Amino acid sequence: MAKIAFLGLGVMGYPMAGHLATAGHNVTVYNRTISKAKKWLLEFSGTLADNPAKAVENADFVMSCVGNDRDLMDIAVGKNGAFSQMKKGSVFIDHTTVSAKVTEELYKKSQTLGINFVDAPISGGQAGAENGVLSIMCGGDETDYVRIEPILQVYSKICRRIGGSGAGQKTKMCNQIAIAGLVQGLSEALHFAEKSGLDGRAVVEVISQGAAGSWQMSNRFETMLNDEFEHGFAVDWMRKDLNICLDAGDANGASLPITAMVDQFYKDIQKMGGGRWDTSSLFKRLKMIDGIKELKNRNLK
C-alpha cells in the first residue's frame, strides 16, 4: 500500500480521500478548515497535518482537490507548500479544475525539483466522488501515469491519459463546454413542455431513451421539475470553469458562442442569489423570466 497525502477535503476531496483510506493506503490529510479534517478522521483511518508541507513528508503520491488557480498555487508552491517537502520521484496529482497555464507552470517547476506533476481533473459530481465512479482525464508524462493509474482506479470508473501536461485540463474544458449546452437545452425542453401543457416526466421518459438522452437528463430532470436546486455543482464554480474555457478559446482561436451565452445566463442566476444553486438552475431562470413577462403583460392590461 502507498503512502499518500490528500490536500483539500471539500465535497469531492472528502470522499475521494476516504476511498483511499478504505482501500488500505496510508493517508495523511490536510484541509484549510481544520474542523473538516478532524471530522474526516472520525470516519476514516489516517493522520492529520496542519500544513501541506508536513502532509507530504515521505509521501509517494500527493493528491490535491481545491478551489481554483490561486488555491492550487498556494498549496503547491506558497508558504509551507507541498513542493518544498516532496521527496524525489514522488508524484503530485492535481484533481482541481484550473487553467492549463497554471498546470503547465507547475509541471515545469516540478521538473526542476526532481518531482513529478500530473493534471487529473475529474467529472461526475459529488455523487460520483462518494460512489467512487468518477471520470478522470490526465495530462503528464506517460511513465508517471502508469504509476498513478492503480491509485486513481480506487475512486474512478474511467481514467485515461489524454496527452502531455495540460491535456487533462483541456479535456475538462471540453467536458464543461459540452455540459453548458446540454443543461441549457434540457432546460429549454422542459420549459417548452410545461408551456405546452405536457407532463414533463412523461416527456423525459420517452425522449431519454432516444437521441436526446444524456446524464444531465437522467440525473437532473426530476429535481428540476421539483424546483430543487440546493445540491450538486454550484453555479459559482461552473462560471469559474466556463471562464477558464472562454479564456482558453480566445488563446487558441476556438469559437465558443454557446458557452459564452450560457456563461451569461449563469451570471443572471448569480444576480438572482443562486450562486450556490446547482447548474441545472438554468431551468429556474427560464421560469422566472417567464413569470416576469406574465406580470408585465397583466400590468399592461
The pLDDT tens digits for 212-242 are: 999 999 999 999 999 999 998 999 999 999 9
Q: Active-site positions? A: 172
Tell me the pTM: 0.93
Whether residues 194 and 157 fall in one domain: no
Q: In which band, very low, low, confident or very high, does the pLDDT at 76 lie, cut at 50, 70 and 90?
A: very high
Q: Are residues 155 and 8 in the same domain?
A: yes
How high is the pLDDT of residue 295? 63
**Residue in 216, 194, 200, 187 with CA at minimum distance from that of residue 124:** 216
Domain count, the chain: 2
- What's 229's domain CATH number? 1.10.1040.10
Helix (H, G, I), strand (E, B) or coil at 169: helix
| Domain stop point among 100, 133, 163 | 163
Distances (CA, A) of 1 to 18, 26, 61: 15, 7, 11
Give the pLDDT mean for 75-90: 97
Joined together, the cell numbers standing for residue 166 give 495540460
Q: Looking at residue 292, what is its pLDDT?
A: 72
Average pLDDT over residues 158-164: 98
Q: Indicate if 178 and 127 belong to the same structural domain.
A: no
Say what the pLDDT of residue 298 is.
Answer: 66
Q: What is the pLDDT of residue 296?
A: 65
- Clarify whether residues 153 and 212 are in a common domain: no
Residue 291 reports pLDDT greater than 90: no
Give me the torsion for CA of 12, 130, 175, 257, rounded to 10°.
-70
Q: Are residues 150 and 98 in the same domain?
A: yes
Tell me how far apart the alpha carbons of residues 11 and 197 are, in angstroms, rounded to a whole number: 38
Task: Give tens-digit pLDDT for 233-277.
Answer: 999 999 999 999 999 999 999 999 999 999 999 999 999 999 999
Q: pLDDT exceeding 70 applies to what percent of the chain?
A: 97
Render 192-218 in DSSP notation, one character per residue: HHHHTT--HHHHHHHHTTTTT--HHHH
Query: 87-124: buried (b, 16+ CB within 10 Å) or exposed (e) per residue?
Result: eeebbbbbbbbbbbebbbbbbebbeeeebbbbbbbbbb
